Structure 1
Amino acid sequence: MIAVITDIHSNRQALEAVLADAAAKGVRRYAFLGDLVGYGADPGWVVDTVAGLVRETGAVAIMGNHDEAAVRGEAPAMREEARQALAWTHAQLQPEQRAFLAALPLSVQEGETLYVHANAFAPKDWEYITGRIEAMRSLHATNARYTFCGHMHEPMLYHLSGTGKAGDFKPQPGVAIPLLSHRQWLVIPGSCGQPRDGNPAAGYALFDPQRQELSFERVPYDAETAAARIRAAGLPERLGDRLLTGQ
């Protein structure tokens, strides 16, 4: 069983809750799909935690666009709130933490499974998968049966049959989904640290490659504390406020 976690965005409280939930469900391996940092108040703790799991358990970790920008210390193409948070994040991170982020790959393929932050067709360009067209473009760009993407903060599942028939649906939390072997699948787990689908609970996905089964999980966490830490750090208040509503 693999826990696929993405878009933590320096949210210690959300990641702690997700890791505890995953461990209770018997998870032994983790894949982190990028954007470990940005927005939130605990970038160093999050980077150290993920780096520890990479080192100690062989977890997969991918670079996200916020990770890349935090290493550089600037993000000219991003919104003002994101730029402020990333400049602050860069100053908070220790050199070894920035080095860990800088060394992360854009994608990792293990057998039939591809892990990437944004998409499979142009990982470095950080283009979003906003609907079926982009999802099919991503699936056509890889031979992987299962593609896991972050970047989008709303959980979604896409599939493509061998005859070219495409489909998509919004998953329900905690419901096991059989991943039929005659289809390719693209999974967007949703954000751990900053959900934007109207549900403030932290999101992640559970993937069982042996059973060819997937479930999307939601975990309540102490969002009030995460928001208070953002305010206490002097970061834009909206970055904390939106944690309380999942918007």
Structure 2
Amino acid sequence: MPVLLLSDIHGNITALDAVLRHAQRHDYDRVVFLGDAVGYYPDGDAVIERLRALGARGVMGNHDAWLLTVEVLEGQGYVFDILRWQAERLGEENRAWLAALPWTIEEEGMLAVHGSPCDPFVYVDDLDLAREGFGCTEARWVFHGHTHLAGAFTALDGPSGPWVRYKPLPEPENVVKVGPKARAMINPGSVGQPRDGVPQAGYGIWNEEAREVRVYRVPFDLDAVAQRVREVGFPPVLYQRLYKGR
């Protein structure tokens, strides 16, 4: 059965709800979350509540890890100020769920990780880093987030190492077909803060039987998010960048 892929929600409950409404058209049977439930936008607690209600299996993102240790971190600036604000408002059950997230999920032929298969904190945003990532796992399907860029790296073994190519996924519906001898490292895009110039939430549907992943871009109420950011006094740059998809 197909799997719903969610990543980098970052406390943006408006975008997450838009994605979940859109995803109702698909007959998925489970949810895999690729990290960063919290950070940036105000509603991290509500986001985790949704993920728990979905029965999502997830991995730890860097913002998730920072929130859990923010009391001892020396980081300064609005990113850490927001995490401290969210930490004070996180319910105990939701904090426990977040704290229990592993760094990776590994199943037969599949790896889920926030960043690179080599290191969950490393951005996979060029061919060399993707080639290195493929070298750190034997999984045929790798699902990751972290960059906030919806796209797919595919690899095919060659005489001197894997041939790797990249395909951005900016359209309302994007199809990534993976041949029987190929492997793929796919980022379904950020639900809460896209950064590829498309001001729409991203999510994926993985159908292993069909050897494909479909990535969708979904409009959400940008004005509502801007109003929520203003209500809590977070920096305006957070909603200004949403309108640009940056």
Letter of the aligned partner of 2:53 in structure 1? G
Verify the 8 A CA contact 1:6 1:191 in the aligned structure 2. yes
Aligned to 1:102: 99
Q: Residue 44 of structure 1: SS of its match in structure 2?
A: helix
From 63, 66, 77, the counterpart of 1:66 = 63
Q: CA RMSD in A?
A: 1.6
Measured against aligned partners, the alpha-carbon deviations of 1:100-120 in whole angstroms (never above 9, x if no partner) come to 111100010121111100111
Taking a change above 3 Å as real, the CA distance of residues 134 and 170 of structure 1, as seen in their structure-2 partners, is: same
From 158, 162, 177, the counterpart of 2:157 = 162
Structure 1 residue 73: deviation in Å? Answer: 2.3
Give the distance between the partners of 1:26 and 1:216, measured in 2 at CA: 15
Give the distance between the partners of 1:75 and 1:179, measured in 2 at CA: 44
Give the distance between the partners of 1:78 and 1:119, measured in 2 at CA: 23
Structure 1 residue 138: deviation in Å? Answer: 0.8
Give the distance between the partners of 1:167 and 1:210, measured in 2 at CA: 23
Q: Residue 20 of structure 2: SS of its match in structure 1?
A: helix
Taking a change above 3 Å as real, the CA distance of residues 15 and 78 of structure 1, as seen in their structure-2 partners, is: farther
Give the distance between the partners of 2:25 and 2:74, measured in 1 at CA: 40
The alignment status of 1:19 with 2:16, answered yes or no, reads no
Letter of the aligned partner of 2:224 in structure 1? T
Measured against aligned partners, the alpha-carbon deviations of 1:101-153 in whole angstroms (never above 9, x if no partner) come to 11100010121111100111122xx1111201111111110010010011011
Letter of the aligned partner of 2:156 in structure 1? S
Aligned to 2:54: 53
Aligned to 1:38: 39
Structure 1 residue 98: deviation in Å? Answer: 1.5
What are the ranges of 5 or more consecutive residues in structure 2 without an aligned counterpart? none
Give the distance between the partners of 1:107 and 1:162, measured in 2 at CA: 24
Q: Normalized per residue, which structure has more helix?
A: 1
Aligned to 2:29: 28
Give the distance between the partners of 1:151 and 1:242, measured in 2 at CA: 17
Q: TM-score scaled by structure 2? A: 0.93
Verify the 8 A CA contact 2:170 2:217 in the aligned structure 1. no
Structure 1 residue 172: deviation in Å? Answer: 4.4
Structure 1 residue 96: deviation in Å? Answer: 2.1
Verify the 8 A CA contact 1:41 1:226 in the aligned structure 2. no
Q: TM-score scaled by structure 1? A: 0.93
Give the distance between the partners of 1:237 and 1:101, measured in 2 at CA: 27
Which runs of 4 or more aligned residues in structure 1 lie more than 4 Å from their structure 2 counterparts after TM superposition? Answer: 74-79
Structure 1 residue 16: deviation in Å? Answer: 0.4
Give the distance between the partners of 1:160 and 1:244, measured in 2 at CA: 34
Structure 1 residue 25: deviation in Å? Answer: 2.3
Structure 1 residue 159: deviation in Å? Answer: 1.4
Give the distance between the partners of 2:45 and 2:8, measured in 1 at CA: 15
Give the distance between the partners of 1:203 and 1:95, measured in 2 at CA: 29
Give the distance between the partners of 1:202 and 1:63, measured in 2 at CA: 20
Give the distance between the partners of 1:23 and 1:77, measured in 2 at CA: 42
Letter of the aligned partner of 1:38 in structure 2? G
The alignment status of 1:143 with 2:135, answered yes or no, reads no
Structure 1 residue 60: deviation in Å? Answer: 1.7
Taking a change above 3 Å as real, the CA distance of residues 77 and 196 of structure 1, as seen in their structure-2 partners, is: farther
Give the distance between the partners of 1:159 and 1:108, measured in 2 at CA: 20
Verify the 8 A CA contact 1:63 1:117 in the aligned structure 2. yes
Give the distance between the partners of 1:79 and 1:33, measured in 2 at CA: 25
Give the distance between the partners of 1:213 and 1:170, measured in 2 at CA: 15
Q: Residue 182 of structure 1: SS of its match in structure 2?
A: coil
Structure 1 residue 84: deviation in Å? Answer: 1.5
